[in-house]
Structure 1
């Protein structure tokens, strides 16, 4: 066991031996903390203005829905154009959006409709950024480090989910939501400066004349022609639609079930993030593809039962334990899936495939959170989440039959040279 741990830590050190990756992670971690601070601030401000499960779900929907349309288009661009320039443009847009929202909150003119608009605007920018971000990470490391790098960036995202809401809870309690939004805007400065020191290989594509629709179609065809890849796309899309919405509706649970405040929301979000960090680190320290399919399937099953129990309980303490399990299992399953996809696809279609991955998995969450929010206004939070969990269970049982096929495809060596 000690030898395995030493080997895993050596794999992690190897990842940070890649100069570009080390610079990127150091700067991006600051920006991600700001992102989670603003997300909690908007969610809580929405609840304060409306006390409506529907509006909490609608604003979360606005943040994620653009992934369905924008990500596949930008994914084609990510395979054609300078990924570094595209990243700088989208991150600059997100910074300006945060500054504008801060001004509106300070002027005390913000309404739930304006929050919806700014959530939609940020969602469009995030949707454009997502496929570029996913495509860039494998270009920052040597081929042998793809598994560890891909999973570590997911861990970083969830470390920020732990730290950001905790800081936001303190900031909102003492100074209000405006400062949390302003901090998010400021945190984009380090990553924008960091791109001056990061060098990326040129995109290896000669398909500049291909239309966007054809580019998207080629990505769909690539996924469809590989049954194991198609299976993991469908399974994770359903899981994202049925299980992940609970992580975006914590404000409704805190307000409606526990009658809590912003500090309670920050605590629950931080515990969710802590579980996510633990699950993500498990995958990162493994540093290999073998066993990822089993980890994905078993933790998908665990997340379904944890969701049912969380939606059912009214115990504050048990709720904290269950949301930790949700964070662990959802993230471990999702990170394992994303790592397998990253590790198995050709670089020439990477942007398109990962854009469709973002659109289907995160976009499905947008649809799920809107549907659950609508029904929760009529039936409460338990019944919509129970139905969603049971649908996920049925789909998981169906795809369990294909686990050997997925193991044979995904637990092999990476296909292409990326940054060497």
Structure 2
């Protein structure tokens, strides 16, 4: 009998799917383990408030642009303006993350973000807002986020003990996606009642919570790295480190593919609601909230896991299932069916992205973490606007439904390619896991045991 059941092995059979479950049912009691840390409790609380405002601003921004222009391409252009600085400027900004106090950097970026939101509110509430205003302010928030994103990701090890790092990252994803449940729903209602401006105003006010939380933290003094090289030399060293590390490089490439093909869905959802589902802002809020529900469940699932072992399988299956979900969604024209499909789409996006984040944090050295997280920000947030622009331009030729189908197929293919290289990635990750005490240095002869390592 031919034992090479490649299709069955890709999905992993029942045993592979079982690896997606937390290590044991008792792990669910550990979901909130990171909240035992005083600093993380402050961070968690501040994020709970601030991110609701962020999601309100996001839905208001998308709706405002589409209301003013009726153009999918301009909708994608505004997203491009907000996120392209992350792709271009993050390698430069991330050098400073490895040099300076990360808590102070976050206070700076959050304060600047508050100013941007209040400017959006002022222009919108006074009726002066134009598309070019939105583009300039989107570019501004993109530049701020080019520093904020790698700083935030590198800040987690300062908030929790090393063994709680993956839990903290997962809980932060839960906050992001829990706020996605509330923010878009409230934002959709407020847009209908009071207009987009009130969403921008409330977002600006919400930044006060996270700024206060950062100022109240008791962070152990971190010795700032002596500056012996020029910024471009640190950038070069960071690139060489990422390019020469097979696990990190492979994970970043997969993240780029998911971002390029999967995340533009978030940009196109207003057009999907308007032109295919024939809905209004309330329907947009519902779909985004359903994505948030799925994402929130994924974050809780990851928080319940006690170890990074097996996350490579989670990444692969999540990418494949995301591709399937998007492909099916491209054929849907019934609102409630689209809402239901948004649940697994949200789950798989966060399961893949948060797992990659955790693996990158685990695999990177402390002195290079800021720059690695900078490349992660480029791959996750920076590639999305490029994908939005390319797919937005193609939409003029082939239509929105075919664009979503193409995105799904490409995500599925990317997961297949990652699965092909996963044994190689596992071999190179194993010495790092041994060095960090994640696995014991023993001879492993059973393939299933090796499979569980990555």
**Contact 1:64 1:123 (8 Å CA) reproduced:** yes
Mean Cα deviation higher: 166-175 or 387-396: 387-396
**Contact 2:178 2:292 (8 Å CA) reproduced:** yes
CA apart distance, 1:2: 11
**Contact 1:74 1:128 (8 Å CA) reproduced:** yes
Distance (whole Å) between structure 2 residues aligned to residue 369 and residue 413 of structure 1? 40
Matches within 5 A, 1:189-268: 189-204=208-223, 206-268=225-287
What does residue 33 of structure 2 align with?
A: 14
Q: Which runs of 5+ in 2 are unaligned?
A: 1-20, 438-454
Distance (whole Å) between structure 2 residues aligned to residue 81 and residue 128 of structure 1? 12
CA apart distance, 1:401: 1.5
Distance (whole Å) between structure 2 residues aligned to residue 410 and residue 15 of structure 1? 25
Is 1:121 the counterpart of 2:140? The answer is yes
**Contact 1:52 1:377 (8 Å CA) reproduced:** no
CA apart distance, 1:8: 3.8
Distance 1:378 1:7, change over 3 A: closer
CA apart distance, 1:114: 1.5
Distance 1:206 1:89, change over 3 A: closer
Paired residue for 1:162, among 163, 178, 181?
A: 181
Deviations 1:41-79 (A, max 9, x none): 000011111111111111111121111122222211010
Paired residue for 2:411, among 392, 410, 419?
A: 392
CA apart distance, 1:345: 1.3
Distance (whole Å) between structure 2 residues aligned to residue 145 and residue 241 of structure 1? 30
- In terms of Rg, which structure is larger? 2
Distance (whole Å) between structure 1 residues aligned to residue 271 and residue 62 of structure 2? 9
Distance (whole Å) between structure 2 residues aligned to residue 400 and residue 13 of structure 1? 31
Distance (whole Å) between structure 2 residues aligned to residue 13 and residue 251 of structure 1? 34
CA apart distance, 1:414: 8.0
CA apart distance, 1:205: 5.4
Deviations 1:93-115 (A, max 9, x none): 01011111111011101112211
**Contact 1:340 1:410 (8 Å CA) reproduced:** no
Deviations 1:342-367 (A, max 9, x none): 12211111111101110122111110
CA apart distance, 1:410: 4.9
Q: Secondary structure at the match of 2:417?
A: helix
Distance 1:381 1:218, change over 3 A: same
Distance (whole Å) between structure 2 residues aligned to residue 385 and residue 211 of structure 1? 44
Distance (whole Å) between structure 1 residues aligned to residue 237 and residue 222 of structure 2? 17
Deviations 1:312-360 (A, max 9, x none): 2212122112121111111101111111111221111111110111012
**Contact 1:154 1:335 (8 Å CA) reproduced:** yes
**Contact 1:171 1:177 (8 Å CA) reproduced:** yes
Distance (whole Å) between structure 2 residues aligned to residue 128 and residue 280 of structure 1? 24
Deviations 1:218-246 (A, max 9, x none): 11211222212111111111111011110
Distance (whole Å) between structure 2 residues aligned to residue 295 and residue 13 of structure 1? 21
Paired residue for 2:171, among 152, 155, 160?
A: 152
Distance (whole Å) between structure 2 residues aligned to residue 187 and residue 338 of structure 1? 26
Q: Secondary structure at the match of 2:242?
A: helix
What does residue 149 of structure 2 align with?
A: 130
Aligned-residue CA RMSD (Å): 1.9
Q: Which runs of 4+ in 1 moved over 6 A?
A: none
**Contact 1:311 1:385 (8 Å CA) reproduced:** yes
What does residue 447 of structure 2 align with?
A: none
**Contact 1:345 1:415 (8 Å CA) reproduced:** no
Is 1:333 the counterpart of 2:326? The answer is no
**Contact 1:254 1:260 (8 Å CA) reproduced:** yes
What does residue 343 of structure 2 align with?
A: 324
Mean Cα deviation higher: 230-239 or 1-10: 1-10
What does residue 200 of structure 2 align with?
A: 181
What does residue 354 of structure 1 align with?
A: 373
Q: Which runs of 5+ in 1 are unaligned?
A: none
CA apart distance, 1:409: 5.0
Is 1:277 the counterpart of 2:296? The answer is yes
Paired residue for 2:309, among 286, 290, 294?
A: 290
Distance (whole Å) between structure 2 residues aligned to residue 298 and residue 242 of structure 1? 16
**Contact 1:344 1:415 (8 Å CA) reproduced:** no
**Contact 1:46 1:55 (8 Å CA) reproduced:** yes
Is 1:5 the counterpart of 2:25? The answer is yes
Q: Secondary structure at the match of 2:279?
A: coil
What does residue 61 of structure 1 align with?
A: 80
Paired residue for 2:115, among 96, 102, 122?
A: 96
Aligned residues: 415
Paired residue for 1:404, among 423, 426, 443?
A: 423
